Structure 1
C-alpha cells in the first residue's frame, strides 16, 4: 500500500478509534501517537480496542504542550516507526484524532499515486504571508522561549520584552531559511526520510526546540531543503479565526464540506454524529481525480471571520462595543445633516420632505430634546426624544436611529446651539453627508427680539462653537462628505447649491419639485451684521456682506453681467426646464 497515516491523538479517543479503523480498513497502515497527558488507563483501553487491526501501531509517547517541541518529537517518532515498519508506504499523511476523511480513501490513494514525487506541505516565509497572530513572526525564530505561552503567559511576555530590550538574537543555522505553514502535511517517503536522517538533524532539533510553535515551522522549513517537487498547500482543510484558533465543523457544515471536495478536514466536533456517519463510509467514487476545491468554504469562512471581528456597519454588539473604531462602519446607511438651512428658509423641513421623500427631522441634538419628524416623541426602535437618554451616549443614539430606519433616508438639522458631542462621530462616518451654511445662526439672532447686548454675546458664543466644529470637519481624518459655504456665498446662487443636496437625498427632477422654498426676509440684515462689528464682534463666518447688500435693495440694483456659456440644444432644453418658474422673487 502506498499511503500511510500518522495520527496525533490527545482527546476524544472514541472518535480517534473510529477514524483510525476507517483508515486501517482501507488498507492504510496507521501509526498513532497518544499525548502523554492521556492517562494510562484511557490509553490502554484505546489501544486494546484497536488491537484487532494488524496494520495499526502505537509510537513512543511524548508530552505535547501547545507551542512546544513535544509535538515535533511525537511526529518524528511516529514517522520513523512508519518508515521502518511499513516499507511499502510511499506517502505519509499527518493527521490528528479530530481529522475526518471527506472522500473515499481510495480516491486519495489514486490522487497521490498520480503524483508519486510530490510533497504537499504549506510552506512560506514570514515575510510573504500575514498568518501570524500575536505579534511574533520572524521573532519566533530569533528569540528564546523557555516559558509556556498558555501556562506561564506573564513570564512569556516579560521574557520576550526583555530580549527585545536587550536586542538579543539567536542565529539561524547555516543553510536554513525559516518557513511556516499548516502543521498537517503529506510527504513522500524520500523527503521524510531525508529530513529524519539529515546529518545536521541534531543541530536542527536543537534550534527548533527553542522556536515558538515549532510544529508549524520544523517540517515546513526542512521540506524546502530536501523536497524535489513541493506544492505549498495542505490536503487537509483547516480554517482559523482571527485569533489563530481552529474553527470547529458541526453537522450543519455537511453540505459545505462535501462541496469542498477536500480529502480530509479538521477540526471536527466530537459530537457531530451526522458528519461521522456521512463520511466514514466507502461510497462509490464519482470523481477519482477531482482536485480539492476549498474556495467556496474559504469565502464563507472569510466572511464569517470578517462578520465576527468587524460586524455589520452601524450594528454594535457586546463583543465589539468596547473597542473604538473596530466596527466596519459607524452607521448602517447614508444620512444627511443640514446646518443653517432651516434658519434661512421658511418651512424648510416640510418642503424638503415633499421634495425628496426622505424623513426630515428637526434639531435632533437640541439641548431641550430631540425634535423628530412629524412631532413624534418616539420613533422606530423605541428611540425616545428624551435629551437625558440621548446625551448618555450620543453615538449609540445616532447609530440606533440610522439602524432602525434602514431603507429610508434620514436627515436632521444641526447647528452651533445644539449639543456638539457628535462632531467627531459624524466626521469619521463615511455615511454622513454634511452641508453647512456658516454664519446662518446670525439670521435667527437677527429675527429675535433680544436686546443687542444679549445678541452680541450669543453671537460670539455661537461663532466660537461653529468655528471649533469646522476645525473638526477640516481634519485630515474626516471620512464624511462635507460641503461648507458662508452665508454670503450661499446667497449668490442658492438653488444651484441646493440642487446637489436634493439629488443625493433622492429628489425628483428639478421641474417637478413641489414649488420652491421661500427664503427668509433679510431686509436690514447687512446693517445688523455691521452693528455687530461696531460693537467689537466680527461675524466673519457669515462672509462678506457689503453694507448695501440687503436683498430687497439688491433687487433694485443693476444685475451683474452673467457668464456666457455656449450650450448645445440639449443643454438649452435642460436649462429652460430647470429654470422654469424660478425668479429671485421666489426667494423673497
Structure 2
C-alpha cells in the first residue's frame, strides 16, 4: 500500500530537511506546509533544497500557525487536500511535524497499515468523558468564542472569557457535532480524509472551529467520528506530556527508551539529538511485527514527573518554595526536639548523644546564635551560627540542617527563650519527635541567684511563649509525635520519661537505659515558685510543686499523654 505524509514545518529547517528526505527516500510522497511567519526569502531557499525530488515533495499554501489558533487546522487541510489531489495511489495519510522522527524502518509502518487498510488511527475521546485538559478549558473551548491569541493577547483572552461567563453566553454547536479531543498527530484513510474535507457542512464547521480554542486537537478528532467506519483511538506518533500539558523534548539520553516503546515515530526530538537522527538516517531500529507500546515507558515518565513535581522530601526547589504545602515533606528525615531536659541535667547533651547515637545540638534557636554540636561556628553545608542569618529564614535553616545532617538522627534543644519562628513548623511536621517538660524554664531562673522581684517579668514572658508553643503542639493540625510532661510530673518519674524519649528518637537502640546524668540540685525550688505566686505571677505550667521542702509522699505520677499518634 502507499503511504503519504503531510509535514508541518515551523523551525529547525536543517533537521526538517533530513526528515522530509527520509520519508521521500522511503517511497512516501510528502506535502510540506511551512508557517507563513517565516520570511519569504528563507522559505524559498528551503523549498529550493528539494528541487531534485520535486516530484515526491510538494509545498502547499501557507498559513500562519499560531499555537491554539485555527491556522494549524487550515495548514493541515491545505496539505491533506494537495496530497489527495496529486497522489491518487495514497491509501493512508500520516500527519507529522518537522520534529517528528521515524524510529523504525518506514517499511514496517507501511506493512502495519497494509494489514489494517480499514482502520483510521486518531486519538478521539468524547470531551465529556475524559479529564485530559491541563491548566486550560475543557467543555468551554466549544461553548465560548476565542478570537484572541492566548500567547500574544493574554489580557484580552482572559477578559473576554470572563465576560462570556458572566453574561452566560454559549455557542450553538453545528447540527450533529459531538465534540471529541485527542492528539493532533493522526494517520487517516484516504476515504475518511476525503469525506472530512468534502463534508457538506464544512463551511459552517470551519466557521465554528475558527473560534474554538486549540482546534487542532478537536477538528479532525470530532469529524472522524462522523465519517470513519473503524477508529483505533490512538496515535501512531509517540508524544509525552508533562504535568503542565507541555510536550516532552526527547534527547539522545532517551534513545534506549524510545527503542523500547516500539513506536514508529516519536515527537518532539531535540534538533541536536545526533544519535536519534543518526538512527533514522541508518534506516531506523527494526522491531519486526512488534505492536507500538508507548505504555512501556510510561512508568519512567511518571516517575520523572513525580520527581519534578514533588521532589525529594526536605529538598526544595524554585517551583515549590513559594507554595505552602507543595513540598514533598517539610523535612528530609526524622529528628528530635527536646524541651526542658538540658535545663535539668548536667551534661545532658553528651549523655543523650552517647545513649541514642544521634547528633545532639544545643539550643539551635537561642537568641545569641545557633548552638551546633561541639560549639562549632559553622556546620555542614556552610551553615552559620549567626543569629541574624538564621532568623532571616528560620524555616529554611531548620530544613537545611535536617537535609545536611541526613544519615544521622539530628536532635536539638528548644525552649521559650529561643526564637519561636519554627514553633508551628515542628508541630505540623510528621518527622518531628518532640518531648516537652513544661515549666522547666523556671529552673535556670531559680539558679540565677537573682531576686524573685527581678525575675517576675522574665518568667511571665517565658511562660507566655511556652503556652503559645504548647497551643501549637496541642492543635488538631499537629502531626509530630509529641510527649508533654509538667515539671512536677517529670520530677516524680524522670527515668521513665528519658526512656520514652530515647525510644521515640532512637527506636533501634537495644539494652537497658544508661545511667541518667546527674540532675541539678533543686533545694528551695518549691519556695521559689511560691514567691513567684506571691509576686502575682502564677507559674502554672510547672505543675503542682509544693513549697514545703519535705512534702508528704505523693501518689505515682501519671504517664504523659501523646498529642498525636506515633509515627514509625
TM-score, with normalisation over the residues of structure 2?
0.89
Q: 1:260 to 1:530 in 2, by over 3 A?
A: same
Which stretch shows the higher mean deviation, 354-363 or 184-193?
184-193
Q: Pairwise mapping of residues 207-218 of structure 1 onto structure 2 (< 5 A)? A: 207-218=208-219
Give how far 1:70 is off. 0.9
Q: Pairwise mapping of residues 57-456 of structure 1 onto structure 2 (< 5 A)? A: 57-126=58-127, 128-282=129-283, 285=286, 287-295=287-295, 297-318=297-318, 320-456=320-456
Give how far 1:16 is off. 1.8
Which stretch shows the higher mean deviation, 121-130 or 181-190?
121-130
Q: 1:507 to 1:242 in 2, by over 3 A?
A: closer
Q: 1:544 to 1:290 in 2, by over 3 A?
A: farther
Q: C-alpha deviations, 1:99-135, integer Å up to 9, x for none?
A: 1001111122222233333333233345555543434
Contact 1:346-1:517 at 8 Å conserved across structures? yes
Partner of 1:579: none
Give how far 1:247 is off. 2.6
Q: C-alpha deviations, 1:528-570, integer Å up to 9, x for none?
A: 444434443333333344667x7x746xx3766999xxxxxxx
Q: C-alpha deviations, 1:222-256, integer Å up to 9, x for none?
A: 33344444333322122233443323222333223
* SS in structure 2 at match of 1:467: helix
Give how far 1:479 is off. 4.1
Contact 2:361-2:413 at 8 Å conserved across structures? yes
Contact 1:433-1:480 at 8 Å conserved across structures? yes
Partner of 1:540: 540
Give how far 1:273 is off. 2.7
Q: 1:429 to 1:562 in 2, by over 3 A?
A: closer
Separation (CA, whole Å) in 1 of partners of 2:149 and 2:557: 82
Give how far 1:263 is off. 1.2
* SS in structure 2 at match of 1:345: coil
Separation (CA, whole Å) in 1 of partners of 2:69 and 2:557: 83
Separation (CA, whole Å) in 1 of partners of 2:88 and 2:500: 78
Contact 2:435-2:482 at 8 Å conserved across structures? yes
Give how far 1:393 is off. 1.9
Which stretch shows the higher mean deviation, 119-128 or 199-208?
119-128
Separation (CA, whole Å) in 1 of partners of 2:103 and 2:506: 52
Give how far 1:401 is off. 1.5
Give how far 1:357 is off. 0.8
* SS in structure 1 at match of 2:216: helix
Contact 2:68-2:149 at 8 Å conserved across structures? yes
**Structure 2 unaligned runs (5+)?**
560-568
Partner of 1:43: 43
**Structure 1 unaligned runs (5+)?**
564-588
Q: 1:296 to 1:490 in 2, by over 3 A?
A: farther
Give how far 1:403 is off. 2.0
Which stretch shows the higher mean deviation, 362-371 or 250-259?
250-259
Q: C-alpha deviations, 1:288-325, integer Å up to 9, x for none?
A: 22122334543333343444444433333455544444
Separation (CA, whole Å) in 2 of partners of 1:469 and 1:87: 81
The size of the alignment, in residue pairs, is: 558
Partner of 1:583: none
Which stretch shows the higher mean deviation, 406-415 or 534-543?
534-543
Contact 2:92-2:188 at 8 Å conserved across structures? yes
Contact 1:354-1:514 at 8 Å conserved across structures? no
Q: 1:265 to 1:508 in 2, by over 3 A?
A: closer
RMSD, aligned α-carbons: 2.9
Contact 1:251-1:274 at 8 Å conserved across structures? yes
Partner of 1:6: 6
Q: 1:326 to 1:452 in 2, by over 3 A?
A: same
Separation (CA, whole Å) in 1 of partners of 2:476 and 2:130: 31
Contact 1:36-1:63 at 8 Å conserved across structures? yes
Which stretch shows the higher mean deviation, 113-122 or 519-528?
519-528
- 1:56 equivalent in alignment to 2:57: yes
Q: Pairwise mapping of residues 24-43 of structure 1 onto structure 2 (< 5 A)? A: 24-43=24-43
Partner of 2:565: none
Q: 1:227 to 1:462 in 2, by over 3 A?
A: farther
Separation (CA, whole Å) in 2 of partners of 1:410 and 1:480: 15
| Structure 1 outlier segments of 4+, above 6 Å | none
Q: 1:231 to 1:492 in 2, by over 3 A?
A: farther
TM-score, with normalisation over the residues of structure 1?
0.86
Q: C-alpha deviations, 1:463-492, integer Å up to 9, x for none?
A: 211122233334444443333333344455
Q: 1:438 to 1:199 in 2, by over 3 A?
A: farther
Give how far 1:387 is off. 1.2
